[in-house]
Amino acid sequence: QSVLTQPPSASGTPGQRVTISCSGSSSNIGSKTVYWHQHVPGTAPKLLIYSNNQRPSGVPDRFSGSKSGTSASLAISGLQSADEAVYYCATWDDSLNGVVFGGGTKLTVL
């Protein structure tokens, strides 16, 4: 049972916009920044979004992040087949004194 709650799956057709949610509490998302990582099985995970809504260089602006209260969201617009991956939110938890990840959302491009 992950501290951060994500839907286990999401899907969309090429060109569509999809949103993945991440729900936490006041001890984590409510007081800390949120990171999003993309993981294609068998490869190294990759940072997509840091500090709630910042994109590292090289990440397309099709990817965007937001945070409100104790929840955060990752939006992917102009969906592409290459976006098929598992997406994880992550932050710090003051109660656990450690990093916490969401359970991951597997994105399928139909």
Partner 1 sequence: EVQLLESGGGLVRPGESLRLSCGASGFIFEAYAMSWVRQAPGKGLEWVSSISSDGFSTIFADSVKGRFTISRSTNTIYLQMNRLRGEDTAVYYCAKEEGSESSHSIHYWGQGTLVTVSS
Site for partner 1 contains 44 (CB under 8 A) = yes
| Radius of gyration, CA atoms only, the chain | 13
CA angle 86, 76, 47 (to 5 degrees): 55
Return d(Cα 20, Cα 41) in angstroms, integer.
Answer: 18
Q: Which of 10, 18, 20, 37 binds partner 1 (CB under 8 A)?
A: 37
Return d(Cα 38, Cα 7) in angstroms, integer.
Answer: 15
Candidates 16-24, 58-66, 69-77, 87-95: pick the segment binding partner 1 (CB under 8 A): 87-95
Site for partner 1 contains 2 (CB under 8 A) = yes
Residue 68 Cβ vs partner 1, minimum distance, rounded to whole Å: 19
Residue 70 Cβ vs partner 1, minimum distance, rounded to whole Å: 15
Do the Cβ atoms of 7 and 103 come closer than 8 Å?
no
User: Footprint of partner 1 on this chain (CB under 8 A)?
Assistant: 2, 32-33, 35, 37, 39, 43-47, 50, 56, 86, 88, 90-92, 96-104
